[in-house]
């Protein structure tokens, strides 16, 4: 008489040996060892057997379940190791392949130039301050000694927001604000955006950046101005740079000059390049702020931040700085 438990065990063991995946093995385990399934289903028949046969029959079922469970565990470990190795081979990285470039940000060339300007002037004792870009007509023109008929005050040449507010045309507007709150001696510098109603081309823009420097103390002369500008120019353009003054007119200085730097051309010739305006602060401005112009004097100068960078790097178009073209921006470290 055949033993059903032995037959079921042999069939189950054969299926376990032929299983090729842990998922298939799990299905076999559930089929033969699940609750009320396979070998465990045979326990229901114990009650139909004579009392003398029940212990032996129950023991055979337990032994078969233990044998099958042990075999399944061993096969499971083997299949798991095989699947792990297969997955590692499939998912392994080829370290010889080129990496993926990670794009990182960098400072805008105007930012790096501003940092150089601030480092240089701070080292010369100038305190950096900021002023509003939406400026009062008073500080942008009136307190800077502009005559009523000056072209810059015309609505066609400046961005007026209201009758008394406009986008500042120059960072020099900060002079009046500082003189109203601080008494000499003082040294101030500022860097910021300015706005003018301009036709945009390679050398003009409606938005640009300007550095403005001014100081007031006793016995300040053109010699102090020229010495300060010489140190500043050499920090910006190289140790061999020379500066030149030529008479010019600006409402807020007297006397006024335009200043140029010596510049070596590609063919070896040296020429003069005008880069900004300067002069001694007009006595009218000092007196308007309660500063005795007989005792105190001061100088002021300003120039464009873009102009500095263009000369340092041979950029020939002002528009590049605000175009946000990565080809241009990524060409500078």
Question: Do 83 and 136 belong to one domain?
Answer: no
Using 50, 70 and 90 to split pLDDT, how confident is the model at 304?
Answer: very high
98 lies in a domain? no
- Please tell me the distance from the alpha carbon of residue 317 to that of residue 249, in angstroms, as a whole number: 27
Q: What does pTM read for this prediction?
A: 0.69
Using 50, 70 and 90 to split pLDDT, how confident is the model at 2?
Answer: low
Tell how far CA 93 is from the center of its chain.
32
Contact at 8 Å (CB) between 39 and 65?
A: yes
- Please tell me the distance from the alpha carbon of residue 220 to that of residue 56, in angstroms, as a whole number: 119
Question: Do 212 and 302 belong to one domain?
Answer: yes
Q: What is the mean pLDDT of the chain?
A: 88
Contact at 8 Å (CB) between 130 and 190?
A: yes
Q: Convert the pLDDT of each residue in 166-195 to its tens digit.
A: 999 999 999 999 999 999 999 999 999 999
Q: Convert the pLDDT of each residue in 197-214 to its tens digit.
A: 888 999 889 999 999 999
Question: Do 281 and 134 belong to one domain?
Answer: yes
Residue that terminates a domain, selected from 37, 64, 91: 91
What per-residue confidence (pLDDT) applies to 184?
93
What per-residue confidence (pLDDT) applies to 262?
93
| The most confident of 17-21, 101-105, 152-156, 289-293, by mean pLDDT | 289-293
Question: Do 115 and 34 belong to one domain?
Answer: no
177 lies in a domain? yes
Question: Do 85 and 31 belong to one domain?
Answer: yes
- Please tell me the distance from the alpha carbon of residue 120 to that of residue 85, in angstroms, as a whole number: 63
Peptide bond into 255 cis (omega under 30): yes
Question: Do 75 and 155 belong to one domain?
Answer: no
257 lies in a domain? yes
Using 50, 70 and 90 to split pLDDT, how confident is the model at 16?
Answer: confident
Question: Do 145 and 70 belong to one domain?
Answer: no
Using 50, 70 and 90 to split pLDDT, how confident is the model at 4?
Answer: confident
Number of domains within the chain: 2
Question: Do 85 and 177 belong to one domain?
Answer: no
Q: Convert the pLDDT of each residue in 67-97 to its tens digit.
A: 888 888 898 899 899 988 888 888 887 778 8
Identify the domain containing residue 117 by its residue range: 110-329
Q: Convert the pLDDT of each residue in 205-259 to its tens digit.
A: 999 999 999 999 999 999 999 999 999 999 999 999 999 999 998 888 999 999 9
Q: Convert the pLDDT of each residue in 114-162 to its tens digit.
A: 999 999 999 999 999 999 999 999 999 888 888 777 776 665 578 889 9
Question: Do 40 and 173 belong to one domain?
Answer: no
What per-residue confidence (pLDDT) applies to 1?
44
Question: Do 189 and 284 belong to one domain?
Answer: yes
Question: Do 85 and 45 belong to one domain?
Answer: yes
Residue 310 neighbours by CB under 8 Å, 6+ apart? 316, 318
DSSP string, 79-107: HHHHHHHHHHHHH---TTSPPPPPP----
Greater model confidence, 40 or 211 = 211
Q: What is the DSSP letter of 294?
A: T
Instruction: Name which of 149, 241, 157, 248 is nearest 194 in CA terms.
Output: 157
Q: What is the DSSP letter of 98?
A: P
Decide: residue 170, CB within 10 A, 0-12 exposed, 13-18 middle, 19+ buried.
Answer: buried
Mean pLDDT of all residues in 303-313:
93
What per-residue confidence (pLDDT) applies to 31?
83
205 lies in a domain? yes
């Amino acid at each position: 008489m055949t033993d059903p438990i032995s037959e079921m065990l042999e069939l189950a063991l054969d299926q376990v040996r032929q299983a090729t995946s842990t998922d298939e093995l799990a299905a076999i385990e559930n089929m033969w060892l699940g609750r009320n399934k396979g070998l465990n289903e045979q326990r229901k028949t114990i009650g139909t057997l004579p009392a003398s046969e029940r212990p032996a029959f129950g023991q055979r079922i337990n032994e078969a379940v233990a044998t099958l469970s042990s075999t399944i565990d061993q096969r499971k470990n083997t299949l798991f190791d095989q699947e792990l190795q297969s997955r590692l081979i499939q998912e392994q990285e080829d370290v010889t392949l080129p990496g993926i470039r990670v794009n990182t940000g960098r400072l805008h060339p105007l930012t790096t130039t501003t940092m150089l300007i601030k480092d240089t002037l701070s080292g010369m004792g100038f305190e950096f301050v900021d002023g509003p870009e939406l400026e009062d007509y008073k500080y942008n023109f009136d307190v800077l000694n502009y005559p009523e008929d000056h072209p810059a005050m015309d609505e066609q040449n400046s961005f007026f927001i209201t009758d008394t507010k406009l986008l500042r045309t120059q960072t020099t507007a900060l002079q009046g604000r500082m003189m109203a709150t601080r008494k000499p001696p003082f040294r101030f510098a500022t860097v910021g955006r300015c706005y003018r109603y301009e036709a945009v081309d390679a050398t003009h823009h409606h938005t640009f950046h300007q550095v403005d420097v001014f100081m007031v103390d006793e016995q300040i002369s053109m010699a102090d101005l020229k010495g300060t500008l010489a140190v500043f120019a050499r920090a910006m353009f190289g140790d061999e740079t020379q500066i030149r003054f030529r008479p010019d007119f600006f409402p807020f200085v007297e006397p006024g000059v335009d200043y140029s730097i010596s510049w070596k051309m590609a063919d070896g010739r040296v020429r003069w390049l005008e880069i900004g305006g300067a002069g001694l602060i007009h006595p009218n401005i000092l007196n308007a702020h309660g500063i005795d112009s007989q005792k105190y004097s001061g100088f002021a100068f300003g120039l464009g931040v873009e102009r500095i960078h263009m000369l340092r790097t041979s950029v020939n178009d002002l528009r590049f700085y605000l175009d946000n073209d990565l080809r241009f921006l990524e060409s500078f470290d």
